[in-house]
Amino acid sequence: MTIPTQAARRVFPPFRLTNLLRSTFEPRTGQKICILIDLPDASHIKDFTFLKNPELTIQRNAVKFFFEPLRDGTLAELGLGGGEMYAYKITGGSNLDLPDEAYTPEGRTVSLEKDVYPHYDIILCISTYSATAPLTAFAKQFGFRGATLHGVNQTILRTGLAVSYDDVSIDAEKMRLGMTNADWVEIDFLFNGKNHTLRLELGGQEAQKSHGLCRGDEPDVANLPAGEIYYVPTGASGEFPMRYEDGTIGLMHVAGGRIQKAELLSGDPSVVEAHNQKLVSDPVTGELGELGFGTQILPVSGRDIQDEKIRGTIHVATGRSDHLGGSLTPDKFAEHLNATHDDILFAPHKTPEILVTQARMHRHGETVVLIENFEPSAYINSLLA
């Protein structure tokens, strides 16, 4: 049975914010919670003017499924305080540093670092672009816990955010134990009849998990929906095809842990040329800072935040890695706006032209297959049995 078939048959409970907060945070009575959103013009949170813009679906979902439920009963049910919402200006890129200036629905200007971060125990960031890296850094600085939920849509609400994260955590740990201390992973790609292989060195490191639990008193930020096993590679070499946003396909030539050059395979040459110019002017933008594997049985949502958590998918990421335990911090980029963390997801719906024919892992002197043709291997399925 394929994962898409299993996902279609899976029955999810209705989404309830109370359940999600209990599952992820186990909040204690008296703790304070707030919501952050991003807007093209942050001042448009005044009187919720932004709700008149039908294009701002993520922010509308933040109000309907998070802010209003908090005020209409969830705060009282969990014994929490707060419930405020703040808006900051859209950053324009994944995991770019957040601006300090924010606005309230009453029209007041506030400082996130002075008026928000120090005064809440739990912060939910429901945004256009992922804020996991900068919010994780602020959590460590100010001592709060949080969750980033960028790109929230109806499918994610009905499925990825409706699950029990205790169950997600159990499966993630089973898979993590079967993949930790790996020496390397090799991924074989097929594009237009030609094979390409990317090798990622892992150095026997402990595999990490994104499992949706952010409990206790330690400052931490969960990335929701959760459900993946990941590493920060110690090196990388080889080549892999990558699909750009416009559908152009380039071949990434990798050496020394970084994409050194992109080669046009199909599509618009100017897209690849622009990428190469960026790699020359700011070389760390090509650094491969993550290797991740999905652990959950979920439907495709059209948003990478959920779709990279689907079992059988694989993703690598370029750029910033400090929030994952890596060493690439924003100050090491030549341009501030380049200091992003960008996931490159390989999945049938996302990269139909590119097939992952096999991903294999070497550890403890043995090589085992993890994925074949976007299907989890018998080894992976045995870990989760």
Q: pTM of the predicted model, to two decimals?
A: 0.94
Q: What digits encode the pLDDT tens for the residues 32-52?
A: 999 999 999 999 999 999 999
Question: What is the per-residue pLDDT for 2?
Answer: 54
- Residue 60 contacts residue 121 (beta carbons within 8 Å): no
Q: What angle do CA 122, 127, 131 make, to 5 degrees?
A: 65
Q: What digits encode the pLDDT tens for the residues 229-282?
A: 999 999 999 999 999 999 999 999 999 999 999 999 999 999 999 999 999 999
Kindly list the distances between the CA atom of residue 118 and the CA atoms of 29, 85, 144, 304, in Å, as whole numbers in the listed order: 18, 15, 8, 31
* Segments making up each domain of the chain, as ranges: 3-158, 165-383
Cα 379 to Cα 41: distance, rounded to the nearest angstrom: 49
Question: What is the per-residue pLDDT for 143?
Answer: 98
Q: What digits encode the pLDDT tens for the residues 202-230?
A: 999 999 999 999 999 899 999 999 999 99
Cα 285 to Cα 281: distance, rounded to the nearest angstrom: 9
| Residue 350 clears pLDDT 60, i.e. is over it | yes
Q: What digits encode the pLDDT tens for the residues 121-165?
A: 999 999 999 999 999 999 999 999 999 999 999 999 999 999 999
- Specify which residues 231 forms β-bridges with: 291
The residue among 122, 116, 147 whose CA lies nearest residue 29 is 122
Provide the pLDDT confidence category of residue 385 given band limits of 50, 70 and 90.
Answer: confident
**Cis-peptide into 225, omega within 30 deg:** yes
Check whether domain 3-158 has CATH 3.40.50, yes or no: yes
Question: What is the per-residue pLDDT for 1?
Answer: 41
Q: What digits encode the pLDDT tens for the residues 171-204?
A: 999 999 999 999 999 999 999 999 999 999 999 9
Alpha-carbon dihedral 369, 370, 372, 374, rounded to 10 degrees: -170
- Specify which residues 33 forms β-bridges with: 82, 122
Alpha-carbon dihedral 277, 279, 285, 289, rounded to 10 degrees: 150
Q: Return the amino acid letter for 29.
A: T
Provide the pLDDT confidence category of residue 7 given band limits of 50, 70 and 90.
Answer: confident
Average pLDDT, the chain: 96
Q: Return the amino acid letter for 14.
A: P
- Specify which residues 198 forms β-bridges with: 187, 238
What angle separates helix 165-177 from helix 17-25, to the nearest 10 degrees?
40
Question: What is the per-residue pLDDT for 4?
Answer: 58
Question: What is the per-residue pLDDT for 230?
Answer: 98
